[in-house]
A and B are shown apart, each in its own frame.
Chain A
Amino acid sequence: MAKVLMKGNEAIALAALKGGIDAFFGYPITPQNEIPEYLSKHLLAAGKVFVQAESEVAAINMVYGAAGAGARVMTSSSSPGIALKQEGISYIAGAELPCVIVSVMRGGPGLGGIQPSQADYYQATRGGGNGDYQLIVYAPETIQETIDTLKESFDIADYYRNPVLILVDGLIGQMMESVDFDKPIRKRFIPEKDYATTGTDHHPGRNIVNSHYLNPDELEQHNLHLQKKYQQIKNNETKFEMINMEQPDYVIVAYGTMSRIARSAIEMLEEQGIHVGMIRPITLWPYPRAAFDQIPKSCKGILCAEMSMGQMLDDVLISDRGRHDVAFFGRVGGIVPEPEEIVDAILHFQERVVK
């Protein structure tokens, strides 16, 4: 397959097919509807499973069941729908099952709007579900990167027995880009799914998919085991990109759509003789804290730019550990800022420094 022109949501659906998806369970919500629409046609045609559930709550629990039964499973939704899925996500993480969740963000809170936003950073990285659990969260900035990430995320989910969340916004979901679906992905050793509830005819002993531990000692041990796994994920899977980082005057931190806008702003600032670099987190969890240790001494300050009101800012402050002035720029509600606005934020950096 050579280069094709694809819409983000459609590309996500096709990438899932390329990633070996066995089953999709979802519920319609704008702006991600093209994902289930595409998969409804192509999964059933391939003899695989597609179910439009009665709610997001049901959909994520179908994911839970099918993942427990050993299948490669995906669901997709948008902000309020992801909120409804948190219950099931916590169970899936607790039971250590693999699955892929695609979140196409829109503006909030509440019903909010349907235009692009990054207001679900906390939802993705801190989780709305109960308990000490983590998702592996990717925030690609192009459709091509979304495809490559999604194809690989089924393997990553299987490898760690952990849900993977792909976090994009409505713009990436709805825009068109020319893409290549055949870029090779990293090969990983995927262990047998010896936990799957396929019936005792198919494996020794009984398999139980469960997140229930009434004994506090056992539950603490389970949590410590999860933390050990999360540490392993931090060590192995943290991803970020450093852009223009030779002796920058300022460093922008931005992800997804915002990092694309920042790229243009950086070019515009360069023309004015202001040299600006960028840290682009690709995994939002684990957050690339180490990137902040590599900021050159020339840097006078860090600008955290988000299409939210200062959610990633927390991670920037934690990662910078007080070494620089940190300023903030954010637009919300479905407003996608222009590069000029970021240029302006750098030019008036001091006014934006977070106290």
Chain B
Amino acid sequence: MEVKYRKSQGLTDKKLSYCPGCTHGIVHKLVAESLEELGVLGKSVGVASVGCSVFSYEFFNCDMQQAPHGRACAEATGIKRVLPNNVVFTYQGDGDLASIGIAETIHAANRGENITVIFINNAIYGMTGGQMAPTTLEGQRTTTSQDGRNHLIHGNPIKISEIFSQIEGAAYVERVSVYNPKQLMKAKKAIKKAFTYQVEKRGFTLIEVLSSCPVNWGMTPPDALKWIEEKMTPVFPMGVFKDSGEAHE
């Protein structure tokens, strides 16, 4: 018999610090597998953010830096500018990227920083206890929108991929999900393509992954995946929002 699927070399042996059924783990695998398959693990530098994925510096089997809340893209800029031939990526949640760190992220994109951003959108703040995220859906109950998000009070869910599609320096922006194996395979393709673009020095790449938070959503892991498909995808449609396809240099 031959091995068809095994744990990626791009992950350490450390047990993930995510809740049972949280799709952070799935996206970690996709990133790790992409780096492993492209043969760039030994020159990769990841930037962990603040939020549930803060410990990702313990999980990705490459050099890592841990960034202040929202600053991952600034930190990645610093790394990439002095190590232009390394592969540099950030792994950020929706609070980190779409709220406190949106300036750093937009400007890194606008400068066309040759980095890859993995953006986990699960419509809620997981780590701090289920508060409203900038991506929380209208009507969604969180600990800081207890009667449901109301755009008149709380504003609207922010659409990162749509925004970044307008930015000159962004080479590739796609929104994917991992709610079933088919979507997962598309997500893997997108993430691998983003890293390929980086290796080819084409500029800024961002992959938004619609993810689950079964514990804070109050659902079983399989039900949480159904909720992504049924509730999130109408608000956050999947697809390629920008693909420059052109060489950057």
A and B touch in the complex (CB under 8 A): yes
A355 contacts partner chain B, Cβ-Cβ < 8 Å: no
Which residues on A sit within 8 Å (CB–CB) of B82? 22-23, 49, 66, 69-71, 73
B135 contacts partner chain A, Cβ-Cβ < 8 Å: no
In this complex, the member of B54, B64, B76, B106 whose beta carbon has the largest number of chain A beta carbons within 10 angstroms is: B64
A229 to B67, CA, bound (A): 23
Partner of A66, one of B43, B44, B79, B111: B79
- Are B83 and A198 in touch, CB under 8 angstroms? yes
Which residues on B sit within 8 Å (CB–CB) of A67? 78
Which residues on A sit within 8 Å (CB–CB) of B65? 64-65, 68, 197, 208-210
Partner of B62, one of A57, A70, A199, A210: A199
A126 contacts partner chain B, Cβ-Cβ < 8 Å: no
Which residue of the partner chain A has the closest CB to B75? A65
Q: Please classify the interface of chain B as helix (H, G, I), strand (E, B), loop, or mixed, using the class held by over half of its residues.
A: helix
A58 contacts partner chain B, Cβ-Cβ < 8 Å: yes
A208 to B86, CA, bound (A): 15
In this complex, the member of A63, A67, A88, A199 whose beta carbon has the largest number of chain B beta carbons within 10 angstroms is: A199
Which residue of the partner chain B has the closest CB to A64? B75
A227 contacts partner chain B, Cβ-Cβ < 8 Å: no
- Are B45 and A61 in touch, CB under 8 angstroms? no
Which residues on A sit within 8 Å (CB–CB) of B54? 212
Which residues on A sit within 8 Å (CB–CB) of B75? 61-62, 64-65, 68
Partner of B68, one of A25, A69, A91: A91
Which residue of the partner chain B has the closest CB to A50? B81
In this complex, the member of B61, B66, B80, B82 whose beta carbon has the largest number of chain A beta carbons within 10 angstroms is: B82
Which residues on A sit within 8 Å (CB–CB) of B68? 61, 64, 87-88, 91
A61 to B78, CA, bound (A): 7
A352 contacts partner chain B, Cβ-Cβ < 8 Å: no
Within residues 90 to 127 of chain A, which ones have a CB less than 8 A from any CB in chain B? 91, 95
A68 to B74, CA, bound (A): 13
- Are A57 and B74 in touch, CB under 8 angstroms? yes
Partner of B107, one of A53, A206, A208: A53
- Are A206 and B83 in touch, CB under 8 angstroms? no
Which residues on A sit within 8 Å (CB–CB) of B78? 23, 25, 61-69, 73
- Are B57 and A208 in touch, CB under 8 angstroms? yes
- Are B66 and A208 in touch, CB under 8 angstroms? yes
- Are B79 and A69 in touch, CB under 8 angstroms? yes
A55 contacts partner chain B, Cβ-Cβ < 8 Å: yes
A91 to B61, CA, bound (A): 23
B170 contacts partner chain A, Cβ-Cβ < 8 Å: no
Given contacts A198-B83, A208-B63, A212-B66, contact A58 B43 (CB under 8 A): no
Which residues on B sit within 8 Å (CB–CB) of A22? 82
- Are B74 and A61 in touch, CB under 8 angstroms? yes
B26 contacts partner chain A, Cβ-Cβ < 8 Å: no
B167 contacts partner chain A, Cβ-Cβ < 8 Å: no
A79 to B146, CA, bound (A): 41
- Are B104 and A61 in touch, CB under 8 angstroms? yes
- Are A68 and B71 in touch, CB under 8 angstroms? no
A67 to B45, CA, bound (A): 13
- Are A200 and B41 in touch, CB under 8 angstroms? yes
A192 contacts partner chain B, Cβ-Cβ < 8 Å: no
- Are B43 and A199 in touch, CB under 8 angstroms? yes
A54 contacts partner chain B, Cβ-Cβ < 8 Å: yes
A264 contacts partner chain B, Cβ-Cβ < 8 Å: no
Contact with B along A21-63 (1 / 0, CB 8 A): 0110100000000000000000000000101011101110111
Which residues on A sit within 8 Å (CB–CB) of B16? none
Residues of B within 8 A of A (CB): 12, 41-45, 47, 54, 57-58, 61-68, 71, 74-83, 86, 103-104, 106-107, 111
Q: Given A61-B75, A197-B45, 6 other A-B contacts at CB below 8 A?
A: A53-B74, A61-B74, A61-B78, A61-B104, A68-B78, A198-B83
